Structure 1
Amino acid sequence: MSNTNTQFSIAVHILTGLAKYEKLNSNELAVSVNANPIFIKRILAKLSSFGLVSTSSGRNGGSTLARKAENISLYDVYMAVEAPNTFMVHGYPKNFSCEISTNIQGAMHDVLEEVQSDLKTKLSSISIDDMGKKVAKKK
């Protein structure tokens, strides 16, 4: 099947929930995401390390946004969860008798850099607040 990393979309889900409900614990977030609370805690730890959420433990503990939802871009989230590149360039040995084999990896790295730059630009233009509005429109 797919070897896709879902941490980015789950982190956006978490932050959008925190923007709407202000404070949630990992169990509440796990119910919303329909995922294991331990997995949610791992993502919260990454978001906390990057300064996107504040967490407190104990009976009344939970997580809150560390800054306003409009000041958290999807690129911030992407960086916080160390999301993988949009694609990988293969590392098979080059066949030096073939021009394509000799040059394809470098050409693909150039394309990857362009795609990642475009992705950064697009994700930087969308905030968690924007995501909350998109979710509300889907009702």
Structure 2
Amino acid sequence: MGMSSRSAVAIHALTMLARWSERTLTSAEIADSLESNPVLVRRVLGSLREAGLVGSTEGRGGGWNLERSPRDISLYDAYAAVEAGPVLVGHAHPPSRECEVGRNIQALLETEFREAEQAMEERLGRTTIADLVRQVMARERELGLQR
């Protein structure tokens, strides 16, 4: 059980778009950074576009850009745009009503999982794409790799 990589891809793409906001980026450029397939990147960018976080232009010189300020995009916004439903879910099949654990575990897990999801939402909501860009730039300076 765990979060898919779509959130990481979305946050990576948004951070790149914020870092190089003076121009559009192609899905191939983003895919190169991810060492991934441009088709996967386009799918994730499509979900981000549906959420109003990015836009695109077609044709020569086209590409992807942010539709909102990086200060106004939280990691939770990216997560919510690309993930379908909660990360933590109960049993796929109802447990046995004949067992004392089976009768009670689903209700107990629902409470625990709901609180965990709320904590994750709150934590991801505290960090913005602008925060990540600043952190990337600081790490690059520390490594002596700033362009």
Asked whether the two chains share a fold, i.e. TM above 0.5, the reply is yes
Residue 43, structure 1, aligned to residue 32, structure 2: no
Matches within 5 A, 1:17-32: 17-22=16-21, 23-32=24-33
Counterpart of 1:118 in structure 2 is 119
Q: Which residue of 2 aligns with 1:127?
A: 128
What SS class does the counterpart of residue 64 from structure 1 fall into? strand
Q: Per-residue deviation at 1:93?
A: 3.5
The answer (yes or no) to whether the contact 2:88–2:117 under 8 Å persists in 1 is no
Asked whether the 8 Å contact 1:8–1:83 carries over to 2, the reply is: no
Q: Normalising by structure 2, report the TM-score.
A: 0.86
- Determine if contact 2:74/2:124 at 8 Å carries over to the other structure: yes
Aligned residues: 138
CA deviation digits over 1:28-77, x for unaligned, max 9? 11101111111111111111110000101111101111011010011111
**Contact kept in structure 2, 1:43 and 1:81, CA below 8 Å:** yes
> Where does the alignment leave 5 or more consecutive residues of structure 2 unmatched?
141-147
Asked if the contact 2:2/2:87 (under 8 Å) is kept, the reply is: no
| Fraction of identical pairs, as percent | 34
Task: Report the CA distance between 1:3 and its aligned residue.
Answer: 7.0
TM-score, reference length from structure 1: 0.91
Q: How does 1:1-139 map to 2 (within 5 A)?
A: 4-22=3-21, 23-139=24-140
Specify the code of the residue in structure 1 equivalent to 2:10: A
Query: Alpha carbons of 1:76 and 1:3: their partners in 2 closer, same or farther (altered >3 Å)?
Result: closer
- Rounded to whole Å, the distance in 2 between the matches of 1:54 and 1:95 is 49
